[in-house]
Structure 1
Amino acid sequence: MIRIGIIGSGGIAGMHVRAYKKMPDVEVVAVADVVPGRAESFVKQHELPEARAFDNHLNLVELDLDGVSICTPNVAHHRTGIDALEAGKHVLVEKPLAVTLEQGIEMVQAAKRTGRLLTVGFQPRYDPNMQAVRDIIRSGQLGNIYYVQTGGGRRRGMPGGTFINKELAGAGAMADIGCYSLDLALHALNYPKPLSVSAFTSNHFGTNPIYHSEADKFEVEDFGVALVRLEGNRVLNFKISWAMHMDSLGPTIFLGTDAGLKLTATGIGPWSGVWDGGIGSIHLFRDLLGHHTDTIIPVKSHNVDIFYEKVRDFVVAIQEGKPAPIPGEQILINQAIIDGVLRSSALGREVEVHIPEL
């Protein structure tokens, strides 16, 4: 039986516990939350009669646990993650990896030092259509991929609370939904390292009371765009928005010397248009027998519970001694780009990106 603890008992923790409860070989034995009484309420709400409740995560990681799900606000990922790893627990941390690049580096170093798993919660990877796109890109049929455009925009889709507090979240739209867009593109490309970033960010909507009820508390970006130079003589055009006067920021595209691929996201309505869901359409553009062709690649209908699969993969990795399903080393590159975006925007110029050898 795999014994799991959960740190943080907000909305995302409920999704974790529901996934774990579907697994007969897993037992959730502890929950911790810094708000007094909240963990105890969570244990009762989710009918975990054998689980212990704590107000301090250090009490939780002292228990005999195999793994820990970290479901705290972004700012606490770093400390709770390192404490769990150093206590000998495997860790599944929700995205983003951390608030800063330096914190992410320390988390990855802690995983290497302790020999524990550090995996990050990017459930869209488990969508069969996302996997098909990855396979197309990696097959080489696009030739040399030299340009990628990714990201998305919501007509209106700004959260509040901890998401808009810079100290707690670290970043806004970039960390919340931009990280999904980056993972879509970078994972398909086998995560090439970024070299430099030239970016612009703004928060015209979040700080305007016409558009946001917590405008006086809004401290992060609601829009960002960046040109990212990648190793291998590639360039990434990255753009994201929580709110805008537009229906779309365009599709995700991969331009190669032999073919091009265009993807659109699923979903309709003001909160759609970003890569935290599935794929709506896939088009392959190439020349065939002297003709310009546009091949529609059918999108697979499926009933895969991608969140469950993410959590299950973590459990299987623990049981079978496998590597981290979505390793922190990869997502550190994702974090480095977001860090570069924020630095570049603040300085008003291009910045270099350095990721140390770990």
Structure 2
Amino acid sequence: MSGTLRAGLVGLGAMGRNHARVLSVLDGVELVGAADAVVTDTRVSHGAPIVADVEQLIALKPDYVVVAAPTATHEEIGLQLAEAGIHALIEKPLAPTVEGAQRLVDAFASRGLVGGVGHIERYNPSLQSLRTRLADGELGEIYQVVTRRQGPFPGRIADVGVVKDLATHDIDLTAWVTGQRYVSVSARSSRRSGREHEDMVAVVGELDGGAIVNHLVNWLSPLKERSTVVTGERGAFIADTLTADLTFYSNGAVRTEWEAVSAFRGVSEGDVTRFAIAKREPLLVEHENFRDAVRGEDADIVTLEQGLRTVSVAAAALLSATDGSVVRL
């Protein structure tokens, strides 16, 4: 597909407005319209016309559409777009259920359409650098991945809990940076704020390469934290996705002769390196890659199949939190 691509957008909430901002300046793309049943001010859509529903957006003949509507609507909207022969980038999670995510995978695949999922953390500079370094063997064997994702409750989220909204970030990025799949998960969750869905979860899992994982996620903390720690045979990487910083703590090559100190240490402490990384906006990089995929060019997108796997792991964590089981995947 050559020439300027015509893009559409569904949803002008907080995330949708960010998508509109990027689409309005994205090279080789024209934002031809947005669909929202409530918002009518075209300043929000950066001058693009706003229509009331998806059918009217389809009538504008976009080449692809970004879906930034509530999670509960992803399947219905995605299937409408697939039926109309329109490529789509669907915000994470792909769908609220495994079955719905599978139907989206099948619908886009059967029509030869490009479908992607908006797992924006994959485009964070610190995690992109981390993935490259892990693939190059800089850490050696991966032993453990620990993520912490906590902060205040976002009032805009009402249809899902912290597992589907936040933990899906950690599930996807863990599988992506390590190149490994989940084989089991166990979880415990709670509802401390009186809302319908869980607002805190602790997940323990195992990857098919032997690494163990731990995800601590909540909407109950006044401290906003986004941390990924990968420990292996040569040390540990720490990625802070709020600042896009990546630091490596190497195992030391020098033994301590202070007996009182050395008795309490497993590996010795080595050098600490903070890497200089080019920091581009993750959302812009995500859009550039999806644009290129629609053009038929080489691009790094989160496929619908990968999005389905993330939904499956999230569903397994919720099942485990309900019945206390260890769920095999």
Instruction: Tell me the TM-score normalized by structure 1.
Output: 0.79
Please give the alpha-carbon distance, in whole angstroms, between the structure 2 residues aligned to 1:307 and 1:248: 20
SS of residue in 2 equivalent to 1:288: coil
- Indicate the residue corresponding to 2:176 in structure 1: 187
- Counterparts of 1:248 and 1:60, CA distance in 2: 36
What code does the residue aligned with 1:93 have? I
Q: How many residues align?
A: 315
Distance 2:145 2:227 in 1: 10
> Do structure 1's residue 55 and structure 2's residue 52 form an aligned pair?
yes
**Alpha-carbon spacing, 1:30–1:219, altered in 2? closer, same or farther (3 Å):** same
Q: Which amino acid aligns with 1:43?
A: T
Q: Kindly indicate whether residue 189 of structure 2 is the aligned counterpart of residue 201 of structure 1.
A: yes
Greater mean deviation of Cα atoms: 331-340 or 144-153: 144-153
- Asked whether 1:261 is paired with 2:236, we answer yes
* Partner of residue 316, structure 1: 292
Cα drift, residue 6 of structure 1: 0.9
RMSD: 2.5
Pairwise CA distance, 1:124? 2.9
User: Match for 2:191: what amino acid?
Assistant: N
Q: Given the superposition, is the C-alpha separation of residues 21 and 234 from structure 1 closer, same or farther in structure 2, using an over 3 Å criterion?
A: same
Give matches, 1:111-260, under 5 Å. 111-154=108-151, 157-161=152-156, 163-164=157-158, 168-169=159-160, 172-190=161-179, 192-204=180-192, 206-207=193-194, 218-244=195-221, 252-256=228-232, 258-260=233-235
Q: Which residue of 2 aligns with 1:334?
A: 310
1:96 equivalenced with 2:61 (yes/no): no
Q: Secondary structure of 1:147's partner?
A: strand
Alignment of 1:15-34 (within 5 A): 15-33=18-36
Q: Which runs of structure 2 are paired with 1:36-55 in the superposition (5 Å)?
A: 38-39=38-39, 41-43=40-42, 45-48=44-47, 51=49, 53-55=50-52
Looking at structure 1, the residues matched to 227 and 8 of structure 2 have their Cα atoms a distance apart, in angstroms, of 39
Distance 1:249 1:71 in 2: 24
Aligned-residue offset at 1:69: 0.6
Paired residue for 2:263?
Answer: none
Query: What runs of 5+ residues in structure 2 fail to find an aligned partner?
Result: 257-267
Instruction: Tell me, yes or no, if the aligned pair for 1:283 and 1:294 is still in contact at 8 Å.
Output: no
Which SS does the other structure have where 2:107 is aligned?
A: helix
C-alpha separation between the residues in 1 aligned to 2:255 and 2:185?
Answer: 38
The DSSP-based 3-state class of the residue aligned with 2:295 is: helix
Q: Distance in 2 between matches of 1:323 and 1:115?
A: 16
Measure, in 2, the Cα distance between the counterparts of 1:24 and 1:248: 33
Q: Report if aligned partners of 1:263, 1:279 keep a CA contact under 8 Å in 2.
A: no
1:321–1:114 Cα change, 3 Å:
farther
1:2 alignment counterpart: 5
* Distance change >3 Å, CA 121–CA 182, structure 1 → 2: same
Is the alpha carbon distance of 1:279 and 1:304 closer, same or farther for their aligned partners in structure 2, counting shifts above 3 Å?
closer
Give 1:230 shift: 2.1
Residue in 2 aligned with 1:307? Answer: 283
Question: What percentage of residue pairs aligned between the two structures are identical?
Answer: 24
Distance 2:62 2:280 in 1: 28
Code of the residue aligned with 2:58 in structure 1: it is V
